[in-house]
Amino acid sequence: MSPRYDEAPELIPQNFPEVHQPSAAPEVANTYGQHTSATPVKPEESAGYTGFAPVEHPPPSSFTYDYQTGYGPTLPSEHGRARQRILGCSVLVFILSIIIALLSTAVIGLAAGTGVEASRANDAEARLAALSASPTTVTVTAPGPTSSDFSAIDKGCSTNSAGVTGTDYESQFYNNPSFKIYCNSDAPNNPLSSLFVGNFDDCIDACASYSFYIPSHFPSNSTSGNATCAGVSFIPAWTNRTFAFDGGAPGNCYLKPGPQNQTALNNPNIGGSAVHAAILDTQS
């Protein structure tokens, strides 16, 4: 069977681009009035020539144009992110404003404090000048002790001598000797010993202690008059050692030997200070 014309393979239809032939180069006038044709540019010498008309594509949004380097990637600070601002100001300007405000406050406070201190200094100088212009002499007299100051240490003789005179005091130690109190009186005879005590009771107990220990420690003197304390003289003002030192007194309690009796008591005469006596009660 003879082949038919329509049994041959069919060609796939192709849409080939048309080749663009560049137009003839324009003539260029030379300096002598003659026309010379410009050297044509070969299609293969033009960069990127493919035979198609060039299509310009806009640069992507992530690129920016620079006049020296052309298009380049957009930096993060220039694309997609705005600069941080505080109260309409940049962060740097805001921080500088705070620093300036703090420094201004410190300067104002320092100036105010300096002014106050200067004012005080001027006032002090003015007062000193006034005192220098009219000096005054101030005499301070230390008040001496009064009788009421000693009522707690003299068994009440300073405030109630009549009520206390003639009363008895019995020592709690040294075989419990008893003494009779006489306010505003001084026991006679030279003292056996002097000492500082806290109150009238301690002075009487010291007398009882003397009579207890001396005979036992000095048996040979047990029969002498100096072995027994028969009375005391107590000066309450000299309990304060400052007053005692000023009066040259070595104590405020003086132990006296016998004999002692009421009729032998002296009126005190020790610079106006009160003296109270206690004598051993031989009848007890």
Q: What pLDDT tens digit does each residue of the chain (284 aa) get? A: 555 555 555 655 556 555 555 555 555 455 444 544 545 555 454 444 455 555 555 555 555 555 555 555 555 544 455 566 676 678 788 888 889 988 888 888 777 777 777 777 677 667 656 655 554 443 434 445 555 578 889 999 999 999 999 999 999 999 999 999 999 999 999 999 999 999 999 999 999 999 999 887 776 665 566 788 999 999 999 999 998 998 889 999 999 999 999 999 998 866 668 999 999 998 65
Other Cβ atoms within 10 Å of 239 Cβ, number: 22
Looking at the chain, how many residues does it have? 284
* pLDDT at position 129: 66
In contact, 177 and 170? CB cutoff 8 Å: yes
Query: Which tokens belong to 178?
Result: 């008893």
What are the residue ranges spanned by the domains of the chain?
Answer: 62-130, 149-280
Cα-only R_g, the chain: 65
* Whole-number Å distance between alpha carbons of 212 and 229: 9
Query: Which tokens belong to 23?
Result: 């137009």
Find tokens 């009520």 and name the residue.
163
- The beta strands (E) that lie in 51-197 are given as 63-66, 70-73, 85-86, 89-90, 168-170, 178-182, 193-195
* Whole-number Å distance between alpha carbons of 77 and 92: 16
Helix (H, G, I), strand (E, B) or coil at 255: strand
Report which of 196, 193, 184, 174 is spatially closest to residue 272, judged by C-alpha positions: 184
Find tokens 């990127």 and name the residue.
48
pLDDT tens digits, 40-81 = 555 454 444 455 555 555 555 555 555 555 555 555 544 455
Instruction: Tell me the whole-structure pTM to 2 decimals.
Output: 0.49
Q: Residue 230 burial (CB < 10 Å; 0-12/13-18/19+)?
A: buried
Find tokens 């304060």 and name the residue.
240
Residue 53's alpha-carbon distances to 24, 27, 49, 235, in angstroms, are: 17, 24, 8, 139
* Whole-number Å distance between alpha carbons of 229 and 179: 11
* Whole-number Å distance between alpha carbons of 177 and 192: 18
Helix (H, G, I), strand (E, B) or coil at 20: coil
* pLDDT at position 199: 96
Helix (H, G, I), strand (E, B) or coil at 180: strand
My answer on whether omega of the bond before 259 falls inside 30° of 0, hence cis, is yes
Query: Which tokens belong to 219?
Result: 């048996």
Q: Residue 176 burial (CB < 10 Å; 0-12/13-18/19+)?
A: exposed
* pLDDT at position 136: 44
Distance of CA 151 to the CA centre of its chain: 46
